[in-house]
Each structure stands twice: as C-alpha cells, then as structure tokens.
Amino acid sequence: VNEGPVTRISEAEIIGNKAFTELKLKQELPNFVGREYSRARARNGVQKLAEFYANEGYFDARITYTIVELTPDNKDGATDDLVKIVYNVETEGKKVFINRILINGNERTERDAVFRVISLKEGNLLKIVDIAGSEQNLYATGAFRRVEIKSEPAGATVSGDSQRDVIINLEEEKQ
C-alpha cells in the first residue's frame, strides 16, 4: 500500500469579513500552517472564528471553509501536496444585545440571588462566554440540579442591532 504524498496546509485566508480585519481574525486561528491537512483542523478553525465572533456580540455569525489545492513549489525538492484553507464569513450578522432576562424554576432561590451570580445583564452584548460562565456560576452555588440558558429573538434596538431575551430555566436541588 502506497500512501502517497502528505498534504500540508500552506496558508489560511479569510474572506467576507467586515467587522474585523483579516489579521485580527487570523490571530484567532490555531497555528496550523505547515502541518498536515485534516478536515478536523479546518473545522477547528471554523469553530474558533465562530466563537470569536460570538464573544464579540455577533451571535449569528456563520462561517464556512473551502480547500484550494495549490501547485507544490518543487524548487527545494518538496514532494508534499499543498492546500490553502479559505474561511468564508458568510454572514457576520448584527450585534446582539440582551433585551430581558427571564428566570424560570426558582421556587426557593430569590431572583436577586440568581442575578448576583450571573454575568449576563440586560442591555449588554450577548456573549457566549457570559452564557457559559453564568451557567457554571449557577451550578457552583450548589442550589441547582439543572441549569439551561437559551435565547430567543426579541426584535431590534433603535440603532438596528438585534435583541434577544435570555431565558434561564432552573431546577433546584431537592432539600
């Protein structure tokens, strides 16, 4: 069995971005130039870019990728095949702000106690890191056996940005 030449990543390119420079977005990508190509590496880049956009308030950003096969530069005798990963920011969406925070299932726990431990605030940007952190903080109190935080569209701000209501569903621990 002859496996053939190794396919290596020669470079990454980002297109369709408007809110952030290509340089800024490339800093968010894992360093995979020169490494063997795999779909998992390319998908990891999509995940990192989507996570970056979500943490900057662009909750609806959608990123895809394509692979471009390059002609190998055989000047140095290299026999590896080369590819370029092109990340396409199909849509950045609008920034998403928190309209209201609705809490369900807190029978014994005061509403204000929940608000004290979450980092989500009405009027702030909706960031994935704040959702995850708030969920962890609620679990860390030991008061809840189940925590679910989700968001639903709630119109737009006066400036045209998106708004979402954040719904926190809680199931308290049994006493």
Residue 45 has pLDDT above 60, yes or no: yes
Name the percent of the chain in helix, strand, coil, to the closest 5: 25, 35, 40
Share of the chain above pLDDT 70, in %: 95
CA separation for the pair 133, 124 (Å, rounded): 15
Average pLDDT over residues 16-34: 95
- DSSP line for 151-170: EEEEEE-TTS-EEEEEEEEE
pLDDT higher than threshold 90 for residue 1: no
| Cβ contact 21:95 at 8 Å | no
Sort residue 113 into left (φ over 0), alpha (ψ -120 to 50) or beta: alpha
What share of the chain has pLDDT > 90, as a percent? Answer: 83
pLDDT at 35: 94
User: 49 in helix, strand or coil?
Assistant: helix
58-72, 116-130, 140-154: segment of lowest average pLDDT:
58-72
> What pLDDT does 4 receive?
73
At 15, is the secondary structure helix, strand, or coil?
Answer: strand
What is the arithmetic mean of pLDDT over 45-60?
94
Reference 151, options 174, 170, 131, 137; nearest CA is 131
**Cα dihedral value 99, 160, 119, 150, nearest 10:** 60
Q: Tens of pLDDT along 71-95?
A: 755 434 556 789 999 999 999 999 9
pLDDT at res. 78 = 56
Half-sphere exposure of 41 (CA within 13 A, CB side): 19
The pLDDT, as a whole number, for residue 75 is 39
User: How does pLDDT run across 131-163, given as a tens digit for each residue?
Assistant: 999 999 999 999 999 999 999 999 998 988 999
